[in-house]
Amino acid sequence: MSRLTALFALLAVCTTATAGERNVIVPTDEKPFKAQQGDIVRLTGRGIAGSQIDGTVVGPAKIHATNTIWELADGRVLIGSQITEFELRLTGKGKVAVTITVKPPQPDAKRIVTKYEFEVK
């Protein structure tokens, strides 16, 4: 009986250890890149406080999660900025185009549009 319990415990540990691993791609510029099926792509929009940040995807990917990022310094939230992260799941092979639009809160302010392109292999 103790061998069976030990076997189940070992199986649970091994299964848990591999379940959390994944490849996450975070581009630092707007140059095209390549991704593999199963990868996660994270793209970030930054604006001043009160900005509206939106993301649109064309191609074999979808926005899986939208995260609001809080930057801290000395344990306190930095004021004045707004950061939104878009986590993309790849749904097939092909070219993906993502547009992140940041609309500042001032009525006459220009929108900031950032475009990313990548290919899913």
**59-95 tens-digit pLDDT:** 999 999 999 999 999 999 999 999 999 999 999 999 9
Pair of tokens at residue 79: 């004021």
pLDDT score of 14:
55
**5-27 tens-digit pLDDT:** 444 555 555 554 556 788 999 99
Tokens 């993906």 correspond to: 96
pTM above 0.85, yes or no: no
C-alpha of 16 from chain center: 23
For residues 93-112, one letter each, b for 16 or more C-beta atoms within 10 angstroms of the residue's C-beta and e for the rest, the string is: eeebebebbbbbeeeeeeee
- State the CATH architecture for 23-120: Sandwich (2.60)
Torsion, Cα of 56, 62, 65, 68 (10° steps): -20
Helix, strand, or coil here: 32?
A: coil
